[in-house]
Structure 1
Amino acid sequence: MTVEIERKFLVTSNDFKKEAIKSYSIKQGFLNSHKERTVRVRLKENNGYLTVKGKSSGDGLVRFEWETEITKQEAEQLFLLCEEGVIEKKRYEVNSGCHTFEIDEFFGDNKGLVIAEIELQSTNEGFNKPNWLGKEVTGDIRYYNSQLSKQPFKNWNK
């Protein structure tokens, strides 16, 4: 059980791909996407995970998170119980100073959306901002994966 402190940003170019230290495919669905809590099942390559997230703080920076590893077979069975709207994305990890950005390039109904996330130790912790980092969207629920599964990026009025 932990508290997650995270900031999210739009990404302005593909330059991050040259800086990535690793990348992998992710498929995830939601067993529950209520605004007070989400329960997510995820396949990261061949590893399964079950994650519970609590409601975000008013500024969107902080929320409860609990995660446990499950087998690939368990994850595949849980996908059958998920709400409509599966998220498919490729995640890139980029080191920046003493932090790591996780950049998600979305596919399917969310194709064209690229979001960078950084986890921090405190809400006022500073960090290096790479040149490909764009507008901050922390706290904008449209960019939560649970919302993207219901209101995909392709349906937004851009």
Structure 2
Amino acid sequence: MIEIERKFLVTSRAYRDEAFKSTRIIQGFLNTHKKRTVRVRLKGDIGYITVKGQSTQDGLSRFEWEKDISKNEAESLLNICESGVIDKIRYEVKIKNHIFEIDEFFGDNEGLVVAEVELGSENEIYEMPHWLGQEVTGHIKYYNSQLSKHPYKTWQ
């Protein structure tokens, strides 16, 4: 239940041609406390509720618990979330043994594209695709919970 991931900005749209899957995601937050975040997500026709703990100081890992819920339950919970819904399309690209998840944001976060790769350990080696840019692991402003409060379009 510990999630280890690295997060990067994306330098081109080349990942679209490499993606084996894309899914629209709508998500909101029931709680965005620093020590715990409770997220509701509708990914296609499947709902999820997720609890995330506080990240380690380097931002590489944190507790994560997730459970499937029905589409109706997710839609109902989204109606009572804090303001600032996240709307994005997630592209999935397989690079050797890893799957990179690339999120293209819409609405107030339009123009932001971020890639994540989940790892089995903090020191795990992975191949970086050519479209990965600056690493932003641990930069809190790129967390979806923060993007819901301080969207990309408001950044200077």
TM-score by length of structure 2 reads: 0.99
Does 2:51 align with 1:52? yes
* Equivalent pairs, count: 156
Gaps of 5+ in 1: none
Residue 115 (structure 1) shift? 0.3
Residue 97 (structure 1) shift? 1.0
Q: Which consecutive segments of 4 or more residues in structure 1 shift more than 4 A?
A: none
* Match in the other structure for 1:128: 127
* Match in the other structure for 2:21: 22
Distance 2:47 2:73 in 1: 7
Amino acid at match of 1:32: N
* Match in the other structure for 1:6: 5
Amino acid at match of 2:136: V
Which stretch of the first structure deviates more once superposed, 86-95 or 73-82? 73-82
Distance 2:75 2:128 in 1: 37
Residue 81 (structure 1) shift? 1.2
Distance 1:109 1:47 in 2: 24
Q: Structure 2 matches for 1:79-158, cutoff 5 A?
A: 79-157=78-156
Q: Structure 2 matches for 1:33-52, cutoff 5 A?
A: 33-52=32-51
Distance 1:127 1:73 in 2: 38
Identical amino acids, percent of aligned pairs: 65
Which secondary structure does the structure 1 equivalent of 2:137 belong to?
coil
Residue 80 (structure 1) shift? 1.5
Distance 1:56 1:20 in 2: 28
Distance 1:129 1:43 in 2: 29
Residue 147 (structure 1) shift? 0.0
Gaps of 5+ in 2: none
